[in-house]
Amino acid sequence: MISINELASKIDNTILKPGIEANVYYNFIKQSAGKDFNSICIPPVFVRDAMKLISSKDKIATVIGFPFGYNCVETKVFEAEKAINDGATFIDVVLNISLLKNCTTNKTSIPLIEKELSSIRKATSGKELRIIIETCYLNEEQISLIVNLIIKTGCDVVKTSTGFGTCGADENGIRFLKSLTENKIKIKASGGIATLEDCVNLLHAGADIIGSSKGLEIIDKSL
C-alpha cells in the first residue's frame, strides 16, 4: 500500500478553473503548501504571487497555451519563459492538437510539431517540461507519433489531458502510453481523477505523476 507521503509526492494539486475569484486561488495555494505535493499547479497569472505564499520546499507548476493549444509557438515560448522567471518549476504545455491530427493525412505537419516542441524545450532548459496531448481526441497512431516526437526533442513528460476535453486519463490509456515511452519519459495522468482509488489504479497502470484538483481530499482520506 502506498504511503500518504509517497502518494502526495506524486500529485500535482491543481486549480485551473475559470470564473472564480482570485482569493479562491490564493487560499488553495496556502492550503496546499507544506503538504508535500509534487507541485501546486495554477494558472500562470498567479505564479509570481504564489511564490510569496509557499515554503522553499513547495514547487509550482503552471500551464502554457491552456487549454486548447492554439497559441503561436512564439507566444508559448514567451509564456513559458515568463512563468519560469516568475518562479515555476514545472511547465505543462498544450500541444497544437489540430496540427497533430493533420499528420494523419499530411506528413509535412510533423516538422512543424517538432519545431514547436524543440522551441519550447530550448526556452525551458533546466525545468521539467510536460506536453499535454489531449488523448481523448487522438487515435493510437497519433499518440504514438507524438510520444516519439516528445522523446526525440528531449521533453520530459507526456501528459494525457487538460481536463477540458471529452474525457481524461484512464488505465488502458496509461498502459498504452507506458508501452510507447519505454521509461524514456514520464507519464502524467490528468483529467477526472477524483479519488484515492483513481490515483492508485493509474499509478499501478504506469503513471508517474497525477494531476488532480482533489489532491487535498485524496490525501486526507488516505490518512
Q: What residues make up the domain containing 148?
A: 4-221
Per-residue confidence (pLDDT) for residue 221, from 0 to 100 = 74
Per-residue confidence (pLDDT) for residue 161, from 0 to 100 = 98
Per-residue confidence (pLDDT) for residue 222, from 0 to 100 = 64
Reading the block at residue 31, the C-alpha cell is 492550503
How many domains, the chain? 1
**Which of 10, 76, 159, 214 is labelled catalytic?**
159
**Which of 58, 188, 198, 214 is labelled catalytic?**
188
Q: Is the pLDDT of residue 83 over 80?
A: yes
Q: Is the pLDDT of residue 1 over 80?
A: no
92 given a catalytic annotation: yes
Q: What CATH number does the domain containing 50 carry? A: 3.20.20.70
**Which of 12, 92, 156, 208 is labelled catalytic?**
92
E strands, the chain, in order: 11-14, 39-42, 60-64, 90-94, 128-132, 157-159, 186-190, 209-212
Q: What is the pLDDT of residues 152-173, one digit of tens each?
A: 999 999 999 999 999 999 999 9
Phi, psi at 14, each rounded to 5°: -125, 135
58 given a catalytic annotation: no
- pTM given for the model: 0.97
Burial class (CB in 10 A: 0-12, 13-18, 19+), 130: buried
Reading the block at residue 20, the C-alpha cell is 472564480
127 given a catalytic annotation: no
Q: Across residues 1-18, what is the average pLDDT?
A: 93
